[in-house]
Structure 1
Amino acid sequence: MINCLIIDDEQPAIEIIEDYVKKVPYMKCVATTTNPVEGLAIINKENINLVFLDIQMPYLTGIDFVKAIQGKCKVIFTTAYDKFAIEGFELDIIDYLLKPVPFTRFLKAAQKAFDIFETEENKKPAAGLPNYIMLRGDTKGSFVKVELTDIDYIEATGNYVCVVCGNKKIIAHTKMSTLENLLPAEQFIRVQKSYIVNIFKIATINGNSIKLKNNEKADIIIGSTYKEAFLEIVRNRLADN
């Protein structure tokens, strides 16, 4: 959703753009104002992605406004004057709409904004989630890299843990709690004292029994201490919620 702010010193002009924004499903009008100085305060307070901005206004022109926000959000100019177009695009605005603005022209600018935001979002790195863990190997100073997507489940065995990846088992000298803290909670959940399961590898849940997609032999029982937290995750992901 693109959060929008509309700034124009003429209220009828605001109402037109606000009505257009309401017609676009991926846009939301967060605020409007006839005062560009107040608009600066709104940007500092609210999560604004895009400003529809008039140019010829009292106190602060649209050109000065863009310079003042220093790239905090994107801008589309809405103005009756075409003489500022070159300067506007030099300030890296998304589009330049001349009043009266037809809805078809507005929609073209809105789609351009959507494409820009989507491209920027796709360029962002993944949300900080690790995609592997490192386990100590059999010999001193050796380590084994294990991709999180390969892990079916992890079983505690005394002072060791067994990381099961399909038919492959990796034994590591570490505590279950230490390993649990390294794993992203969005992907792994402890279902009993001795087992951590990859949520994405679960095939079926029948009562207290968990069956995994890639490991038909594994029959993991949900412990009473961990059952409520586990079932809460399951309920949140039910298709018929």
Structure 2
Amino acid sequence: MYRCFVLDDEKYAADIMVSFIQKVPSLTVVESSGNVFSAIDKIIQGEVDLLFLDIQMPDLSGIDVLKIIGSRCKVILTTAYPDYALEGFEYDVVDYLMKPIAFDRFLRAVEKAQRQDIPVQPDKQEEAFLMLKGDRKHKYHKVFLEDIYYIESLRNYVKFVTAKGNVISYQNLAMLSESLPSPLFFRIHRSFIISTKHLSIVEGNRANIAGTFIPIGESYKKMFFDYLERGIINR
């Protein structure tokens, strides 16, 4: 709910603005008056979310009000003088409405103010991947980490078994074990690194990864089972 203050010394114009506000369920009127100092006080006290501000008033101009309140609330200017309105944009006003104000134009300004409260979603970062040297010169395979089921050592090569197929690459399993993020990847055998994301069953001395049982080596068992223990809830 936006708490609105209509600051306009022209009662007829202020009453029209109040009638517009009352038609919008997400808005409520805190006060409508030409009392600049009442408006400033309520804004400083944090009682106003949206100020409808006339620019030409007898005590202080709308520009003077903008200088005083800073960014304490959102402001929509209401004026019959577009030149003054342009000056208001130097103070980050949401919009300006030219008198006489039509209801549909009022609504667009309010929607613009409300859109400013919607957090901008950051661009989704590209998923982490590896560029794997292939079996031929200058050939590389792009493999996303989340697609990897397990990695198997084949002497001087390794086989990446992934959701999109197998990739043979000239790599060293020990070096991969050090460089891959833990605990997303876990070495459970001298010949195998598994993706814990795709781990479904551990049965005795073997682990099921995407339907394939991988042996758990004796020298890797304690560390692997210590990791599994942290996820057991019924002991």
Partner of 1:95: 95
Pairwise mapping of residues 63-102 of structure 1 onto structure 2 (< 5 A)?
63-102=63-102
2:44·2:69 contact (CA, 8 Å) conserved in 1?
A: no
**1:27–1:166: structure 2 CA closer, same or farther, 3 Å change rule?**
farther
Which consecutive segments of 4 or more residues in structure 1 shift more than 3 A? none
Partner of 2:14: 14
Partner of 2:208: none
Distance 2:93 2:46 in 1: 20
Q: Secondary structure at the match of 1:78?
A: strand
Pairwise mapping of residues 50-61 of structure 1 onto structure 2 (< 5 A)?
50-61=50-61
Worse overlay, 35-44 or 52-61? 35-44
Q: Secondary structure at the match of 1:109?
A: helix
Query: 1:119 offset after TM fit, Å?
Result: 3.1
Aligned match for 2:233, one of 140, 165, 168: 168
Distance 2:44 2:24 in 1: 25
Distance 1:8 1:169 in 2: 67
1:109-164: CA deviations, max 9, x gaps?
011011112338x89xxxxxxxxxxxxxxxxxxxxxxxxxxxxxxxxxxxxxxxxx
TM-score, normalized by length of structure 1?
Answer: 0.49
Query: 1:166 offset after TM fit, Å?
Result: 7.7
- Give the aligned residue type for 1:5: F
Pairwise mapping of residues 1-241 of structure 1 onto structure 2 (< 5 A)?
1-119=1-119, 167-168=232-233
Q: Secondary structure at the match of 2:82?
A: coil
1:15-62: CA deviations, max 9, x gaps?
100110111111111112212122111223352111000000011000
- Give the aligned residue type for 2:63: I
- Give the aligned residue type for 1:78: T
Distance 1:90 1:70 in 2: 11
Unaligned runs of 5+ in 2: 123-229
1:187-233: CA deviations, max 9, x gaps?
xxxxxxxxxxxxxxxxxxxxxxxxxxxxxxxxxxxxxxxxxxxxxxx
TM-score, normalized by length of structure 2?
Answer: 0.51
Q: Secondary structure at the match of 1:118?
A: coil
Aligned length, in residue pairs: 129
Query: 1:6 offset after TM fit, Å?
Result: 0.6
Larger radius of gyration: 2
